[in-house]
Amino acid sequence: MILRTATPGDINALKELYYGTITSINIKDYNPEQIKAWAATAERTESLLRKINEQYFYIAETADKTITGFASLETSGYLDMMYVHKGFQGQGIATQLLKKIIETATTLGIQTIESEVSITAKPFFEKHHFIAVQQQVVVINNMQLTNYKMLLAL
């Protein structure tokens, strides 16, 4: 697996990965209406482009350039996005991306990484020493979804 910085040319592949992960992996924890509302946010390409340009945005890919996951970190220490392709779950990709995020945060002098994670992702983050500090309800496209505010002290 290769880790690299995302570029604007990656947007279509990132949109597909994001949509595919939500509609295939998160369906075990969210109902069909919630999945539909959440997955619809994949069309916000202007937001994705802004994140690529303004955040530390990393991509995991195979030797043949298949994008298998991505993660992004704001300079504030907020881990904004982390998704792994539906066909590459359980292969350590999220762990490698998280290591890169932690390495970047440490280099930037960030003391705490904060994130808002899905019900599905919560066990992964707990395994990597994040602490859930709050269960919360977020509204996406007029649909309520439960997620968790989680922190990792560095």
State the pLDDT at residue 125.
98
Q: Which two tokens stand for residue 38?
A: 């959440």
Q: Are strands 131-140 and 78-84 parallel, antiparallel or unpaired?
A: unpaired
Q: Are strands 112-118 and 78-84 parallel, antiparallel or unpaired?
A: parallel
State the pLDDT at residue 45.
87
How many domains does the chain contain in total? 1
Residue 117 lies in a domain: no
Q: Which two tokens stand for residue 26?
A: 């998160």
Domain boundaries, position 25: 2-110
Q: What is the mean pLDDT of residues 98-124?
A: 97
State the pLDDT at residue 44.
83
Task: Tell me the pLDDT tens digit for each residue of 36-88.
Answer: 999 999 888 889 999 999 999 999 999 999 999 999 999 999 999 999 999 99
Please, which pLDDT band fits residue 145 given cuts at 50, 70 and 90?
very high
State the pLDDT at residue 43.
83
Residue 116 lies in a domain: no
State the pLDDT at residue 42.
85
Residue 47 lies in a domain: yes
Mean pLDDT for all residues in the chain: 96
Indicate which CATH number applies to the domain containing 105: 3.40.630.30
Alpha carbons 129 and 136: distance in angstroms, whole number: 20
Residue 141 lies in a domain: no
The arrangement of strands across the sheet holding 143-153 comes to: 2-5, 56-61, 67-73, 78-84, 112-118, 143-153, 131-140
Residue 63 lies in a domain: yes
Alpha carbons 16 and 108: distance in angstroms, whole number: 31
